[in-house]
Amino acid sequence: MDNLGELLHGFSIAVTVPHLVLMVVGVLLGILVGVLPGLGAPNGVSLLLPLTFGMQPVSAIILLSSMYWGALFGGSVTSILFNIPGEPSSVATTFDGYPMARDGRPTTALATAFGSAAFGALIGVILITFLASWVAQVALAFGPAEYFAVYFLAFASFVGMGGAAPVKTIVALAIGFAIAAIGIDTVSGSVRLTMGVDELVKGVNFVVAVMGLFGIGELLVAVEEEFHARAVSSKIDWREVFRAVGRLPRHGVALLRSAAIGCWMGITPGGPTAASFMSYGIARRFSRRGRYFGTGEVEGIISPETADHAAGTSALLPMLSLGIPGSATAAVMMGGLMIWGLNPGPMLFVDQKDFVWGLIASMYVGNIVAVALVLLTVPVFAALMRIPFVVIAPLIVIICVVGAYSVSNSYLDVVMMLGFGIVGYLFKKLFYPLAPLVLAIVIGDKAEDAFRQSMLMSKGSLGIFFANKLVTCLIVAGIALLLLPLVLQLAKLRRKPASPSTETTAQEKVII
């Protein structure tokens, strides 16, 4: 029960007035970026990053993670009230959330969504509380070969389970690795891949990439469709809130199943978006009222919301204990950790107990703060949606430009950000996944270092990746995940020789 003691200590750090204020600020900013189409959790968090450099790491991570919770909640508000998903991960919430709100039950829809979201987050945090330090303990014994194997497994699981076309995922990953390699090589000190541009010696900062890929890219996708913010009433009936939350335990099976799916997808980097779609799909298949899904079913809201938040929360587990982020936003936060001078990974649990347990305790408190704030502010943020998109769009462009510039006061970064915007738009349009790209930019160097160090240890023999049981298992599991899409394809071909692969657009939307 060491963990509980540490957790109590964490609460004494998280529940202080300055940190509670940071949580409120973070959650409100998070809801704001969650509500605005074109601004999402990854670039919201990277925008705040430069402002945290002067803070204590634990305060900074509380601010950033609260913003993440806020963004997850904010995305659901617009999904339910406007049928416009503010975040990719809340697309599945529109399927049943909006019909229910349109039928005159907006409070029920919102309260059901927030209640199940809080449940999902709670399960995720409990998982982190009890599992993270154990995983870190195991990982303390890792050498470079084991580390490379874990990285390999993480990247392979994107290919095998991410849901996007496997080759597109591989291309996105490899581009991320190449971008990570730009600049000075940490091992040999030589300059790599600058393409003759001297300024690139400093490398490409992931914040610049995130601003372009998620900010400008998403804006371009959003501007294509004309927005009609036909809102249903955004008035909150407080008695109905408690009644709706009171009805949640009746759907216990759906809640637990969705939380399990979410946690699994969060820890193995599938991400919240894939988790919410998968959970919705499974619920539709197994629910007794599956036929009515899409018309405002309660379980159609519970399933994606619970999984979304469970995945978002548990994505921090591998980030903390292994140094491998489970989602794009977690990748940005991990970049922050490195900037603050912390080394994400198992040593955090030894050297930085205050940081780790302060963060974990703040996740309990932060989610409660988020539920309360989001309910209180629904009318305010709903009003924000009535501002025409033509007014909001240039402001978001300016925010992204200033955000990219302020990373290292470089004009080249702004130009590159715009370039990443075009790439982000093309990738989104053609269903190339963006999360693995960002992930590879953030941890590409570490993966490469681990590979080169293990090669040094073994004097160039790949045998080191099969030297003991643990590393062999990890590598074999990784290879299996890489080959999984191929096997499925072959199996499909054998069963139905002539049937073409049926990728529907609805399915393709899973991959963002």
Partner 1 sequence: MISRRALELATAVLTGGFGVAVVIQSLDNGIGWSSAGVEAGTFPFLTGTIIVLGSLYNLVRGALPVASLANVPIAITPIELRRLAGLFVPAAIFVAAIPLAGMYVASALYVFAVLAIPRHQSVPRALGMAAATALALYVVFERMFQVSLPHGALAAALGF
Residue closer to partner 1 by CB (options 1, 498) is: 498
Residue closer to partner 1 by CB (options 199, 503) is: 503
- Residues 27-56, one symbol each (x = binds partner 1 by CB under 8 A, - = not), give -----------------------xx-----
Amino acid at 434: L
- Find all residues with CB under 8 Å of 415, minimum gap 6, and list them: none
Residue 440 CB, nearest distance to partner 1 (Å)? 9
Judged by CB under 8 A, does residue 395 bind partner 1?
yes
Judged by CB under 8 A, does residue 220 bind partner 1?
yes
Residue closer to partner 1 by CB (options 286, 411) is: 411
Judged by CB under 8 A, does residue 131 bind partner 1?
no
3-class state of residue 156 by DSSP: helix
Residue closer to partner 1 by CB (options 75, 212) is: 212
Residue closer to partner 1 by CB (options 118, 464) is: 464
Judged by CB under 8 A, does residue 509 bind partner 1?
no
- Residues 257-296, one symbol each (x = binds partner 1 by CB under 8 A, - = not), give ----------------------------------------
Residue 63 CB, nearest distance to partner 1 (Å)? 14
**How many residues touch partner 1 (CB under 8 A)?**
64
Candidates 21-29, 241-249, 251-259, 419-427 — which segment interacts with partner 1 by CB under 8 A? 419-427
Residue closer to partner 1 by CB (options 111, 179) is: 179
Neighbours of 391 (CB within 10 A): 8
Residues 151-190 that bind partner 1 (CB under 8 A): 167-168, 170-171, 174-175, 177-178, 181, 185, 187-188, 190
User: Between vectors from CA 252 to CA 247 and to CA 254, what angle results, nearest 5°?
Assistant: 110
Neighbours of 43 (CB within 10 A): 30
Q: State the sign of the Cα–Cα–Cα–Cα dihedral 317, 181, 45, 116.
A: negative
Tell me how far apart the alpha carbons of residues 356 and 177 are, in angstroms, rounded to a whole number. 28
**Residue count (the chain):** 512
| The two three-digit tokens of residue 299, written as one number | 């379980």
Phi, psi for residue 191 in degrees, rounded to 5:
-90, 135
| The two three-digit tokens of residue 327, written as one number | 């989602």
Beta bridge partners of 192: 183
Tell me how far apart the alpha carbons of residues 187 and 182 are, in angstroms, rounded to a whole number. 13
User: Between vectors from CA 403 to CA 31 and to CA 386, what angle results, nearest 5°?
Assistant: 40
43 within 8 A of 210, measured Cβ to Cβ: yes
Residue 251 CB, nearest distance to partner 1 (Å)? 34
CA nearest neighbour of 269 among 314, 182, 183, 327 = 327
Tell me how far apart the alpha carbons of residues 17 and 433 are, in angstroms, rounded to a whole number. 40
Residue closer to partner 1 by CB (options 174, 477) is: 174
Among 17, 141, 195, 198, the residue binding partner 1 under the rule CB under 8 A is 195
Among 25, 223, 245, 483, the residue binding partner 1 under the rule CB under 8 A is 223
Matching residue, tokens 């949606």:
385
3-class state of residue 345 by DSSP: coil
Candidates 1-9, 136-144, 205-213, 224-232 — which segment interacts with partner 1 by CB under 8 A? 224-232
- Residues 364-393, one symbol each (x = binds partner 1 by CB under 8 A, - = not), give ------------------------x-xx-x
Judged by CB under 8 A, does residue 483 bind partner 1?
no
Cα end-to-end distance, the chain, whole Å: 40
Judged by CB under 8 A, does residue 219 bind partner 1?
yes
Q: State the sign of the Cα–Cα–Cα–Cα dihedral 259, 262, 266, 267.
A: positive
Q: Which residues bind partner 1 (CB under 8 A)?
A: 50-51, 167-168, 170-171, 174-175, 177-178, 181, 185, 187-188, 190, 192-195, 216, 219-220, 223-226, 388, 390-391, 393-395, 397-398, 401-402, 405-406, 409, 411, 414-415, 418, 421-423, 425-427, 429-430, 432, 448, 451-452, 455-456, 460, 500-505
